[in-house]
Amino acid sequence: MKPRLAPTLASLILAGLTATGPVLADDALWRDCRTCHAVVAPDGSVLARGGSSAPNLYGIADRPLASDSGFRFYSDDLRAAAATGARWSAANFRAYLTNPDQFLRDLTGNPQAESGMHVELRRGADEVFEFLRGLSQ
């Protein structure tokens, strides 16, 4: 079964807004991603702590797909999508987070394409994208 993140994320965002400000809100946004992802700058400083079983999301805004050179386990289908030259625009990021398999199918034209990421966000993708863009500046 795929994890259902939407209700948690929505309530965490609300909690962040009514609490002490942007730090808490950002931390709440990151909670659903950090099991697998971290944000680590090129100089090695950790901007958002997290796991190492998924690509580093440093500079993800406008980064080409599948371009973390330190991550060796990209799926063939994400690599195939990357071969189209696509980048992580806000729209691509939102589409991917909403339905990773469908995003790859639309981009590659392969109806069998499957993402190596089994996470679907029903809302909040734009906020996560802006959070990550802000961290990487």
Q: Which of 35, 25, 23, 93 is nearest to 9 (CA)?
A: 25
Question: Would you state the structure tokens that stand for residue 100, as one six-digit string?
Answer: 């990773």
88 part of the interface to ligand HEC, by CB under 6 A: yes
36 near ligand HEC (CB under 6 A): yes
Distance in angstroms (rounded) separating the CA atoms of residues 87 and 114:
18
Q: Which stretch in 15-23, 34-42, 105-113 sits in contact with ligand HEC by CB under 6 A?
A: 34-42
24 vs 87, beta carbon nearer ligand HEC: 87
Tell me the closest approach of the beta carbon of residue 75 to ligand HEC, in angstroms: 3
Which class for 58: exposed (0-12), middle (13-18), buried (19 or more C-beta within 10 A)?
Answer: buried
Rounded-to-integer distance, Cα 28 and Cα 9, Å = 7
Distance of CA 126 to the CA centre of its chain: 10
Query: Binding residue for ligand HEC (CB under 6 A) from 25, 28, 65, 107?
Result: 65
State the nearest-atom distance from the C-beta of 112 to ligand HEC, in Å: 14
Give me the residues that bind ligand HEC (CB under 6 A), please. 32-33, 35-37, 54-55, 57, 60, 65-68, 74-75, 78, 88, 93, 97, 115-117, 119, 121, 128
